[in-house]
Structure 1
Amino acid sequence: MSNGSHVVVAIDGPSGTGKSSVSKAVARKLGVGFLDTGAMYRALTWWCLEQQIELTDADAVAAASRDLPLTMGTDPNHPDVFIDGRSIEVHIRESRISQSVSTVATNLDVRADMQQRQRELMAQVSEQTGGVVAEGRDITTVVAPDATVRILMTASEEARMARRSKQLSVTAESTRSQIVDRDRVDSTVSTFMTAADGVVTVDTSHLDFEQSVQAVLHVVSAEAGHE
């Protein structure tokens, strides 16, 4: 998926590692597009709840995924998410979505549909901007195993919980549910806790935001020759 001179950066990792904000910053630095693949599962979760589709009804959720009128904003400065032309970026970050999204994300038919959408979006954005930084949980292994640069961002559980608690202003118990429990459930269908062969690990446990961005850019420079 390197597509000639285009740089495709795939970043995976568990919740709270900073991969979303770091990926956006890296995309801005490289002057390429950005894709938050997790937001796609959140958008479907929101849509199903709006349509009163039971999230445990796997067939109904898979059908909703195939018909989902989703548009992803891929500008790293404004990565908005739209359903039927309506911005839902704020809505998909609500705690009710965070608590429910794993049920949707572990639906194998949904994953197959979303993964194909993600491949198509990455190719489209890469063609338009000269590259793309895509982040999620199975981008390095399933969606784009032939990406120019593949990175697994990790951090200690303590660091991840502290970041997410500060980010969302929620209790420690709620944070544990959103970090540890969600990772446990999601890991049943996706490997994002350890790096696959050829994937570079970047541990952000003791790095601040700017240091994390620089660490990723260093890997991109080493792997693809991009500063």
Structure 2
Amino acid sequence: MKIVVIGGTGLIGSQVVALLRDRGHEAVAASPSQGVDTVTGEGLAAAVQGADAVVDVSNSPSFETEAALDFFTRSARHLIEAERAAGVRHHVTLSIVGVGRVPDYGYYRAKVAQEEAVRDGGVPFSIVRATQFFEFIAPVMDMSTEEGRVRLPSTRLRPIASADVASAVAEAAQGEPSYGVRDIAGPEVHRLDRLGEITLAAKPDGRTVVTDESAGLFAGMPDGVLVGDDTAHLAATRYEDWLRRS
């Protein structure tokens, strides 16, 4: 199969491309650095020509509501139009677990709009929703650090290794369109402040964690949104094991 991976040079996309190539597929990485821009449509027609499936793991460069909404809606529209013209038979989108449960969170609202564009676009599709990546924990801690203290809320989440996300996305791309959503999550539920403590215990740098329910990106997130429900497929990789290897 020829499978085009939009965002194929990023954290998830590069791993998806490698997995697909290892399994004998013609996997093509497409990104702005390679002349493929989903926001403007530049290079899309040529990129998806002859593709059996297209995977979209691209991400907005901004978490600001209007910027993210513009990115995801325009990108999805241009991508689906190019796929229809090229006769692509399967579109796979990576989204976020719980994305429809927090309408006041602008970035999530933008991802909902992306999903809606995919569902209404006329190309057979599959949507994979993942919880937060392990690799996201350290940047969240950095953004919440003040004078050696990492301020984090006790929000519960079930984070997942990016490698496990990439595996699920690659699996979806090789299969038939599901016309639905598959949720994937890590094996354990953690409080975000506790994840900070686990991280600093494994890699101490002089900082300490302070529980602050008003701090950071996930402050005020309704309980359970970042955990998923009983239908989620649970990956095997534990955060502490991943920390030791990374």
Select the structure with the greater relative contact order (CA < 8 A; seq sep ≥ 6): 1
Q: Give the structure-1-normalised TM-score.
A: 0.37
More strand per residue: 1 or 2? 2
Of Structure 1 and Structure 2, the greater helix share is in: 1
Q: Which has the larger radius of gyration?
A: 2
After TM superposition, the score normalised by the length of structure 2 is 0.34
